[in-house]
Amino acid sequence: MAKSNSRANARNQCSKRIKRIRRIRKKIAGTVQRPRLRVFRSARHIYGQIINDVTGHTIVALSTNSKNFSAGDAQGKTALAKQVGVCLAELAKTKGVEQVVFDRGGYAYHGRVKALSDGARAGGLNF
């Protein structure tokens, strides 16, 4: 029986996700009126950025790793992701952003990615 090479499998998974990202980015672009809400998910943290693709600037960024993020009473990675979405929406509204285009970053719309988007909607962002 052949051994499975976990390093090669991880490399293959990452390359598949990068292909999905490139395919999605051909279709999704943020503008001044509707910037792009980008999600990155690691094993421990979740990151959200609102990006204006016309100028290439990040308007707002927040993660569970940020110093200005307070989890409140949220426990568990999914609850933290929802809290990041709510806080990100509040920061975006202070910058004058009401509508965004959602970029799930090549991840399935499930779990923490969905929780972040639901939190952003609850915070007042329109997708």
What integer pLDDT is reported at residue 34 of this predicted model? 94
Q: Please give the order of strands across the beta sheet that includes 36-41.
A: 57-63, 46-52, 36-41, 101-103
pTM, two decimals, is 0.85
Q: What is the pLDDT along the chain (127 residues), one digit of tens a residue?
A: 455 677 777 778 888 888 888 888 888 888 889 999 999 999 999 999 999 999 999 999 999 999 888 887 878 999 999 999 999 999 999 999 999 999 999 999 999 999 999 999 999 999 9
**d(Cα 88, Cα 99) in Å, to the nearest integer?**
13
Task: Rounding to the nearest 10 degrees, give the CA dihedral for residues 96, 115, 49, 89.
Answer: 20
Strand partners, 60: 50
Supply angle C-alpha 120, 125, 91, rounded to 5: 75
**d(Cα 98, Cα 40) in Å, to the nearest integer?**
21
| Residue extents of the structural domains in the chain | 6-122
What integer pLDDT is reported at residue 79 of this predicted model? 95
Domain spanning 6-122, CATH class = alpha beta
